[in-house]
Amino acid sequence: MRQSTLFGRTLREAPAEAQTPGHRLMLRAAIARPLAAGLYTWLPLGFRVAKKVEQIIREEQDRIGAQEMEMPVLTPAETWKETGRWDALEPITFRTADHNGREFMVSYTHEEFVHLHAKQELQSYRQLPQIVYHFQSKGRDEARPRAGLLRAREFVMKDAYSFDADQTGLEKSYAAEHGAYERTFARMGLDAISVESDTGAMGGDVAHEFQVLTEAGEDRIAICPNCDYKANLEKASRSTDTYIAGATELPRPSEIATPSTTTIEALEASLKQPTTAFLKTLLLRDAKGTLVAVVLPGDRDINEAKLRKVLGTSEVKFANDGDFASAGSVPGFIGPIGLRVRTLVDRSVDGRPYIAGANKRDTHLRNVVKGRDFQGEQVDAHDVREGDLCPRCTVGKLSIKRGVEVGNIFAYGTYYSDKMNATFVAEDGTAKPFFGGSYGIGVGRAVQTIMETHHDEKGIVWPPQVAPFQAHLIALPVNDEDVRSKAEKLVDELERARVEVLYDDRDESAGVKFADADLIGIPLRLTVSARNLKQSQVEVKSRSAAAMEMVPLAFAAEKIAGIVRSWPR
Amino acid sequence: MRQSTLFGRTLREAPAEAQTPGHRLMLRAAIARPLAAGLYTWLPLGFRVAKKVEQIIREEQDRIGAQEMEMPVLTPAETWKETGRWDALEPITFRTADHNGREFMVSYTHEEFVHLHAKQELQSYRQLPQIVYHFQSKGRDEARPRAGLLRAREFVMKDAYSFDADQTGLEKSYAAEHGAYERTFARMGLDAISVESDTGAMGGDVAHEFQVLTEAGEDRIAICPNCDYKANLEKASRSTDTYIAGATELPRPSEIATPSTTTIEALEASLKQPTTAFLKTLLLRDAKGTLVAVVLPGDRDINEAKLRKVLGTSEVKFANDGDFASAGSVPGFIGPIGLRVRTLVDRSVDGRPYIAGANKRDTHLRNVVKGRDFQGEQVDAHDVREGDLCPRCTVGKLSIKRGVEVGNIFAYGTYYSDKMNATFVAEDGTAKPFFGGSYGIGVGRAVQTIMETHHDEKGIVWPPQVAPFQAHLIALPVNDEDVRSKAEKLVDELERARVEVLYDDRDESAGVKFADADLIGIPLRLTVSARNLKQSQVEVKSRSAAAMEMVPLAFAAEKIAGIVRSWPR
């Protein structure tokens, strides 16, 4: 490929809107370009990377016996309605209708449709287990598309679906996909860790995410340095100390005058007590507008995803002043005693006497004790933080890292087959529901995550197995007849040896060409220059190392092909 | 691949809605399945065919130097509005909007967007010529999806776009794509002919379609047996005889009483004149509601596509009774003399005296002569028919065949670059518009057209280069330990020799297995049976020939791999 006619122009500066190192490099190196917020075109360089990433994913799916197929982008509403997801997914999806008014969703995922197919194609237990997969464009109406390909509004996902006869089979399929994912990410140069995750809109109980730790990520992951516990904070828990009550009985609650003291911070300052001495009571509304109060220690925050899961709702919002009145309270002075509303008590709240709002203007109570003075459903809805104790080993202190979710796997069992009446004939002749799982990887997000984690100050440093080309041959100067003819001969020899070469035949300075080569980040840089040709040599430099090597021109193709063959695939 | 777990069940009977032989086979052989009207899923067998077709297209695009990229499915309205196609394409497209009300089209084609990219990536004449292409899902809200994949509402199209500095360059790019298309269709086993076509919604003047002649097609193609003229009837013309007026002056028009005689057929019967003696005058409305009259000989029909092109409109409809009044006429008795409306006269109307409506109830006129008695714009808007004279050689009698349009190419020049101000810096330093063309192939339609033209009464007969597998190995019976172990050994040997094998390991009868093999249509059928194993032989049969051959088991893999290697690629 001649760089002079490559469709894609490198940029010296990234556009101001670029948010992360990978986002900046993606734009500068002409990997992809936005057409609109969150909608991207792969330019030829990026397209080549995306196809290599796709091929790695495909090979690992094929290795576990999964069959490739392809379901459409437009998916009919009536099938989504069978599982209730037509409404549930409304806030995050794009919809359309034909001229007869029949509605379709720009596909968000394909569980419903693969179950429709399974009903028709899989009739007997003898056809199980099965895994099918496809690569297909997905639409997500993200309110805030973020950081280029990390959170786009359209992207190609590989989604795989397993069908098993029972839970044991599902667990095997799930483990097979888990293994395939580990190999897949390792092959594309991503150090992805498997973490426990929330099942979100997918249903079911068991789910893992594959997270690549990088500051560019928007997820937060709790990691135990002492055991194998790793979890998204949307799911993470912690071990809590057991409070040992003193021998003497605790005094009853008593009022404290706290005029205009409506926040934990203000109470801390005026009462000279640590935040842990207070109870924080939040009054919230779920997606249907139902009120709920959540009680936490003063030093703890709600984890909204965990709370949504507890409530089985898609959204929680703060209550308004009228809600406080109907709950029997006052904004700024809310507390758990006597509250007329469903009350959830986070498990971080222990048996000690707390200071809490009195549900009365300008007043708090001291000596408020859980169980004795107020009741509530015990839940886990607080945000785990750095230094919390690991819930598994109860010894390690959790650290919190940022991560990009590059893949996720869900074991949802009969969640869809029950709703859609998707059954097969079991060995005993009865109709049984399929046990299913689904397994996703976003191609664009994987490509950008590779850039987020493989670059230096000069540009991208592609892992060889996903690089757009394997060698970048630079002719200097290109208008020197001898340089050009020898460069083109070497390109030809390399291509015959099946080395993928980007040939910089542009009439540009050495400075421009080397800067572009560093920016684009192809693993091997080969320089055919007038100076090197005096010794009949080619300069070979690895993008990931500083050292250069001079190789005799006559052996260059063979040597370079040998290096390329030695790379992992 | 073991057939026992293949995702896709063959059907003995095609569903009643299947409209063509290829449609029936597509459903019976589990190539694809509908999710909704016009929306299809590729099952694994069909997916493999689609990917082979795609790879052939890709290789031929790459051979002419085209670069692969990928533009998104969702495309922003504002860019479509720059060229006026947001409104023009409304009747045939799917639209959506995000939760902020920003509108998008499920992409119909990508001319606008590739021009947006060209503006940014291509700045100098030195970067030209360029061809870029992608495979992407397209949405078309077809009112009548037809015959499975022949006219679907979502399908993957390869669309390529050329950018040149001038008309000469465009003609070269167009010729290169024309050649690529010829090779592409030949390689996938399609006998596609290049025919002149209307440019439709694409703009510009020059366009060709690649048509595969088959009764399953909905297009009609005029073909000259004497010269190389081939044209879609939407564009086709004919040579007309020159009418030689007699020496004597023709009499003036005179009224005939024709009570309740409102059709050409009725006039023919009552006046005992041939249809060619009459003029047919049609009163029509264009998409904006503007009235127009079209005058043709009584034996000729309008070609609606040709008329739409003449009028520059997307739709023509028959006028209503009120329209007749405002045009100064009466339904059933309309004629060209004295009509108060724009009048188009088809070039089939010659200088002879015709019988025409008098624009007066129950009355016609005889001796109505073009030029003398009425005027009008001369147009070509009639439907060419079997036996018409070729417009090119003027000697051959055209035959009309049904065809499927498997590809189309358009040279639109500066149609988009003018509207979008898409320019490059020319050699003389001035900004010049790109000269463009676009080039499409629908993957699904190509696959089904292969089935329409490659089958017999038992099933599909795939051309080897696009077959889902190369060999279909049938074990009979599979529960014979010796049969199964030898069959599996042969599968293994074949796969190591890179032969793609579908292995029928199902516990089914010989009848069922052979019928499925014929239906699925894999080029080579290999039978490992208890009987053949007595002679240590394998039966080898080609799907496209009746003869069978017995091959020693020991040499079978080598022999079969040799056959497969001998096939065209």
Q: What is the pLDDT of residues A432-461, one digit of tens each?
A: 999 999 999 999 999 999 999 999 999 999
A335-367 pLDDT, tens digit per residue, is: 999 999 999 999 999 889 999 999 999 999 999
- The confidence score (pLDDT) of residue A519 equals 98
A to B CB pairs, distance under 8 Å: 166
CB contact under 8 A, A69 and B41: yes
Residues paired with B157 in a beta bridge:
B136, B442
Residues A261 and A218 in one domain: no
Other beta carbons within 10 Å of A119: 16
pLDDT band of A546, cuts 50, 70, 90:
confident
Q: Is residue B165 within 8 angstroms of chain A, CB to CB?
A: no
Contact A113, A75 (CB under 8 A): yes
A334 in any annotated domain: yes
User: A226 in a domain, yes or no?
Assistant: yes
| Res A202 pLDDT > 60 | no
With a cut of 70, say whether residue A7 has pLDDT above it.
yes
- Whether the CB-CB separation of B254 and B353 falls below 8 Å is answered with no
CA distance linking residue B111 with residue B160, whole number of Å: 9
Query: Residues of A with CB below 8 A from B5's CB?
Result: 65, 127, 130
At B41, list the tokens. 């899923």
pLDDT of residue A467 exceeding 90, the answer is yes
Do A413 and A509 have their domain in common?
no
Substitution target from A28, A63, A74, A108 for chain B, most B beta carbons within 10 A: A74
Distance from CA of B114 to the nearest CA of A (A): 10
Higher pLDDT, A166 or A546: A166
In a domain, B387, yes or no: no
Token pair recorded at residue B107: 């992409």
Say if residue A38 is in the same domain as residue A185. yes
- Report which of A377, A302, A280, A293 is spatially closest to residue A338, judged by C-alpha positions: A293
User: Above pLDDT 70, what percent of chain A?
Assistant: 98
At which of A347, A379, A411 does a domain end? A379
CA closest to A163 among chain B residues: B7
Name the residue among B471, B469, B492, B479 with its Cα closest to residue B529.
B479
- Three-state SS string over A310-356 comes to HHCCCCEEECCHHHHHHCCCCCCCCCCCCCCCCEEEECCCCCCCEEE
Q: For residue B67, give the CATH number of its domain.
A: 3.30.930.10
Residues A348 and A316 in one domain: yes
Grade residue B247 by pLDDT with cuts at 50, 70 and 90. Answer: low
Which of A6, A7, A31 best probes binding to B when mutated, by most B CB atoms within 10 angstroms? Answer: A7
A136, closest residue in chain B (CA to CA): B137
Tell me the pTM.
0.91
Cα nearest neighbour of A36 on chain B? B76
Q: Counting every residue, how long is chain A?
A: 569
The Cα-based distances of B51 to A6, A16, B465, B496 in angstroms read 26, 40, 11, 21
Q: What does the alpha-carbon distance between residue B134 and residue B440 come to, in Å, rounded to a whole number?
A: 10
Check if A161 contacts B (Cβ < 8 Å). no
Provide the mean pLDDT of chain B.
94
Residue A44 forms contact with B (CB below 8 Å): yes
DSSP-derived 3-state class of residue A66: coil
Binned at pLDDT 50, 70 and 90, residue B357 comes out as very high
Instruction: Please tell me whether residues B102 and B166 are part of one structural domain.
Output: yes
User: Does B243 score more than 70 pLDDT?
Assistant: no
Query: Contact A117/B41, CB-based, under 8 Å?
Result: yes
Contacts of A76 in chain B (CB under 8 A): 35-36, 39
A11 touches chain B (CB under 8 A): no
Q: Specify if B233 maps to a domain.
A: no
**Burial class of residue B248, CB neighbours in 10 A (0-12, 13-18, 19+):** exposed
Question: The CATH number of the domain where A536 resides is what?
Answer: 3.40.50.800
In one letter, which amino acid is A198?
A: D
- pLDDT band, very low/low/confident/very high, at A192 (cuts 50, 70, 90): very high
Q: Residue B282 has which token pair?
A: 């049609």
Residue A80 placed within a domain: yes
A-chain CB neighbours of B71 within 8 Å are: 35, 41
Q: CB of B108 within 8 Å of any CB in chain A?
A: no
Q: In the predicted model, is pLDDT for residue A555 greater than 60? A: yes
Sign of the Cα torsion A119, A120, A124, A125 reads negative
Is residue B439 in some structural domain?
yes
Burial of A228 (0-12, 13-18, 19+ CB in 10 A): exposed
The C-alpha atoms of residue A336 and residue A373 are separated, in whole angstroms, by: 8
Tell me what the mean pLDDT of segment B59-84 comes to: 97
Rounded distance between C-alpha atoms, residue B511 and residue A275, angstroms: 80
B315 vs B501, more confident: B501
The predicted-structure confidence for B169-215, as pLDDT tens digits, reads as follows 999 999 999 999 999 999 999 999 999 887 665 556 788 999 999 99
What CATH number did the domain enclosing B314 receive? 3.90.960.10
Residue A387 domain flag: no
User: How many domains are contained in chain B?
Assistant: 3
- From the list A35, A68, A120, the residue facing B72 with the nearest CB is A35
Cα–Cα distance, A33 to A203 (Å, whole number)? 35
Contacts of A138 (CB under 8 A, 6+ apart): A106, A107, A108, A109, A154, A155, A156, A157
User: By residue range, what is the domain housing residue A291?
Assistant: 254-379
Specify whether the backbone of A185 is left (phi greater than 0), alpha (psi in -120 to 50) or beta.
alpha
Q: Quick one: A331 and A406 in the same domain? A: no
Contact A213, A401 (CB under 8 A): yes
Residues B79 and B209 in one domain: yes
CA angle A400, A406, A411 (to 5 degrees): 95
Give the residue-averaged pLDDT of B345-368: 93
Is residue A507 within 8 A of residue A479, CB to CB? The reply is: yes
- Tell whether B175 is covered by a domain: yes
Instruction: Test B42 with A69 for CB contact under 8 angstroms.
Output: yes
Q: Does pLDDT of A204 surpass 70? A: no
- The mean pLDDT of A38-66, rounded to a whole number, is 98
Interface touch B74/A122, C-beta < 8 Å: no
Q: What is the DSSP string of A384-434?
A: P-TTPBPTTTSSSBPEEEEEEEEEEEEEEETHHHHHHT-EEE-TTS-EEEP
Q: Does B75 touch chain A (CB under 8 A)?
A: yes
Q: What is the pLDDT of residues B445-469, one digit of tens each?
A: 999 999 999 999 999 999 999 999 9
Q: pLDDT tens, A310-331?
A: 998 888 999 999 999 999 999 9
Q: Quote the DSSP letter at residue A70.
A: B
pLDDT on residue B244 = 61
Q: Around Cβ A264, how many Cβ atoms within 10 Å?
A: 18
* A526 and A409 inside one domain: no
Nearest to A467 by CA among A406, A411, A524, A410: A524
As a whole number of angstroms, the distance between CA A435 and CA A445 comes to 29
* Structure ipTM: 0.91
Q: What is the pLDDT of residue B469?
A: 98
d(CA A342, CA A349): 17
Considering the domain architecture, whether residues B283 and B211 belong to the same structural domain is answered as no
pLDDT at A175 over 90: yes
Length of chain B: 569
For chain B, positions 14-33, list CB contacts with chain A under 8 A.
30, 33
Strand A291-297 and strand A279-286: the pairing is antiparallel
Using a CB–CB cutoff of 8 Å, tell me whether A479 touches chain B: no
pLDDT band at residue B129 under the 50/70/90 scheme? very high
Whether A270 contacts A261, CB under 8 Å: yes
Of residues B313 and A187, more confidence is placed in: A187
And the tokens for B302?
Answer: 């309008």
**Nearest beta carbon to residue B5 from set A127, A137, A139:** A127
Whole-number Å distance between alpha carbons of A222 and A230: 6
- Residues of chain A contacting B36 with CB distance shorter than 8 Å: 74, 76, 102, 104
Name residue B231's beta-bridge partners: B196, B222
> CA B93, CA B172: separation in Å to the nearest integer?
32
Q: What is the pLDDT at residue B569? A: 79
Confidence at residue B143, expressed as pLDDT on a 0 to 100 scale: 84
Question: A313 and A272, same structural domain?
Answer: yes
For residue B293, what is the DSSP state?
E
Q: Which of B241-250, B395-404, B532-541 has the lowest mean pLDDT?
A: B241-250
Rounded Cα distance, A127 and A123, in Å? 7
Residues B93 and B162 in one domain: yes
Q: Of B527 and A205, which is predicted with more confidence?
A: B527
In terms of domains, do B68 and B200 share one?
A: yes
pLDDT at A201: 59
Of A19, A232, A201, the closest CA to residue A93 belongs to A201
pLDDT bracket for residue A1 (50, 70, 90): very high
